[in-house]
Copies of this chain bind each other. A is one copy, B any other.
């Protein structure tokens, strides 16, 4: 079951400038930053209610996020929904023939699994499903 919006990911060419808007102007707080070398991105996490705004800055011109930025420009990259049963939610997607970008869930540095649903199966939205607490 989908339990909440985990985060909204927003691509930016300049993490500091973008964090300035979300923190200094909108009043959110940068709770932490990360460099994910496997994806060549810097990430800033700004909590808002039970969700996060996740700012993504590419650190290599050939990364997926850099290519997205070149093609689509800065803005919302994907919507991440928390699932309390990733297997069951992925099984429903498979049964409905909804295409996944990641056929098998990927495990992140925190031991949590996630998968991406292709926008062509969702009505144009890149959706990440993220394994939350059961």
Q: Which residue of B lies closest to A96 (CB)?
A: B25
Contact of A27 among B2, B17, B75 (CB under 8 A): B2
Q: A96 to chain B: which residues have CB within 8 Å?
A: 21, 24-25
A18 within 8 A of B: yes
CB distance from A54 to the nearest CB of B (A): 12
Can you tell how many copies of this chain the complex includes?
A: 2
Tell me how many residues of A have a C-beta within 8 Å of chain B. Answer: 39
A4 touches B50 (CB 8 A): yes
A21, A74, A121: which has the most chain B beta carbons within 10 Å? Answer: A21
Give 9 nearest A-B pairs by CB, closest first. A4-B49, A75-B124, A74-B124, A25-B96, A18-B123, A74-B123, A76-B76, A5-B51, A12-B123
19 further contact pairs, Cβ within 8 A, besides A5-B8, A12-B124, A74-B124: A2-B26, A2-B27, A3-B49, A4-B48, A4-B50, A5-B5, A8-B79, A10-B124, A11-B124, A12-B123, A21-B96, A21-B123, A27-B89, A49-B51, A51-B51, A73-B124, A74-B123, A76-B76, A76-B125
